[in-house]
Amino acid sequence: MSVCPRCGTEVTKPTKTWSMVGRPSKTGERFKLTLGIFVCPECERRFRTVVGKEKERITLKGIVEEIKGVEKGLVQTLGDLREKVEKLKDERAELLEEIEELKRAGEEKANTLEEEVASLREEVEALKEMLGDLE
């Protein structure tokens, strides 16, 4: 039974109820709350109130189930992380390879340029000699 917050009419039966387990209190106790939706027959106001509150019994089975759930989550997280790490390792290896290739290409280009500069220098020297001979 509940009381309409608007007009104060007593509403005997909720139209819907459900229960939920609240967060543990400071003492570690958990309460199972039963909530109900009521519709006031006088003013048609819909409202929600707690219709029941009971201490959740902590059972060994409940604790084991909870631990199992946590464990399952952890295993999954570890699996996901491992997969991610492997993927990143692959990516890293690929990038390192690419960097090596770029380095090699860069060195090759530098070598080619060096050779070109050297041959140009030789050409310049040859031209200078030729001009010297003409004087």
Nearer to Zn ion, 6 or 72 (CB): 6
Binding-site size, Zn ion (CB under 5 A): 8
**Of the two residues 32 and 45, which places its CB atom closer to Zn ion in the complex?**
45
DSSP 8-state symbol, 43: T
Q: Which is nearer to Zn ion, 30 or 45 (CB)?
A: 45
Report d(CA 124, CA 114) in Å as an integer.
15
For residue 16, the SS3 value is strand
Q: Which is nearer to Zn ion, 6 or 55 (CB)?
A: 6
Nearest approach, Cβ of residue 51 and Zn ion (Å): 17
- In angstroms, rounded to a whole number, what is the distance separating the alpha carbons of residues 5 and 46? 9
What is the closest distance, in whole angstroms, from the C-beta atom of residue 15 to Zn ion in the complex?
14
* Footprint on residues 5-64 left by Zn ion (CB under 5 A): 6-7, 9, 40, 42-43, 45
**CA-only gyration radius of the chain, Å:** 41
- In the complex, the residues that contact Zn ion under the rule CB under 5 A are 4, 6-7, 9, 40, 42-43, 45
